[in-house]
A = this chain, B = another copy of it.
């Protein structure tokens, strides 16, 4: 309510002086006036307008994060990583759910631009051959030219740096682990059709199976990223014997869905069939699911840190390089060794 002008007036100093003490400037100020101004500000309940500050400094302490759906734990962990470093640095994170729609991403990016956000983080993975991706790339280019940082948390051709895990390598590694355990016939429950993330994970699986000389016993099945999809796909698997030695799902939720389907059908896991996922979400730890841990939290945190630590002027100059964060195999109780 009370402005700098008001504080200055009551304290009997000029706005500039008031600004200097309240904004924590390095400009020399006498101890007496400083104390006076602080006292008045406190008394009046002065709250500096971040809006005015951002307006004059031409860049706000606002950080945008675009997720598909915050209810999806994959994204909420990322958002948490973003917000933790953002809030610690005095930034505020703006959350946008885009429901995997590229056009929505473009719209929301525009909004972030209107607020002169310090940067925006794209958490989702995009689609294979997305016809709107060039439009997004263009919008990202404009934003960056304007001093707004952009970071993608998945491999995507939108012309900005990428901070991500190597999902394909992660899928390869979990597959390799199952193979090393002696599994041969392995079913892979894919993610939602058309997504880049879906393709990467499947490709990792297939590459490993090929390298192991097991191409013939690699079985990809349509699925999705949620419990129900994993459950349904597994039910179909059960309906058509023979059962595979192991089931790998494209992510943890689907893997838990698979696990439940198997156990409900009284199929012993890991006795008869092993089950594994990818992501290492909380639910994976809870049910003892073997998986690959992806540095989701760290991706969000690192992206935020990059934006906060890099001056806006250089936003356009940041190379669109990929920083790959490492994943880690997490063997738990849903997988077991198969006798030779």
Contact = CB atoms under 8 A, between A and B. Distances in A.
A79 interface: yes
Count of chain copies: 2
A51 B113 CA distance: 10
A128 interface: no
A212 interface: no
A272 interface: no
Contacts of A283: 227, 283
B87 A97 contact: yes
Q: Is the interface of A mostly helix, strand, loop or mixed?
A: helix
6 contacts: A1-B146, A50-B111, A71-B73, A83-B95, A84-B97, A92-B112
Interface in A95-147: 95-97, 108, 110-116, 142, 145-146
Contacts of A77: 71
Nearest to A64: B92
Contacts of A111: 50, 92
B51 A115 contact: yes
Interface of A: 1, 45, 47-52, 54-55, 60, 62, 69-71, 73, 76-77, 79-80, 83-84, 87, 92-97, 108, 110-116, 142, 145-146, 227-228, 231, 256-257, 260, 282-283, 286-287
A306 B48 CA distance: 26
Contacts of A116: 49-51
A96 B83 contact: yes
A24 B165 CA distance: 44
Candidate in A76, A96, A145 with the most chain B CB atoms within 10 angstroms: A76
A168 to B, nearest CB: 26
B97 A83 contact: yes
Contacts of A231: 286
Contact of A80 (B60, B71, B114, B287): B71
Contacts of A260: 286-287
Nearest to A228: B286
Given A50-B115, A51-B60, 11 more contacts: A47-B110, A47-B114, A49-B116, A50-B111, A51-B55, A62-B94, A70-B80, A71-B76, A83-B96, A84-B97, A94-B95
A210 to B, nearest CB: 34
A116 B48 CA distance: 10
Q: 3 closest Cβ contacts across the A-B interface?
A: A50-B114, A227-B286, A95-B95
A110 B49 CA distance: 11
A108 B95 contact: no
Nearest to A91: B111
A79 B70 contact: yes
Contacts of A108: 87
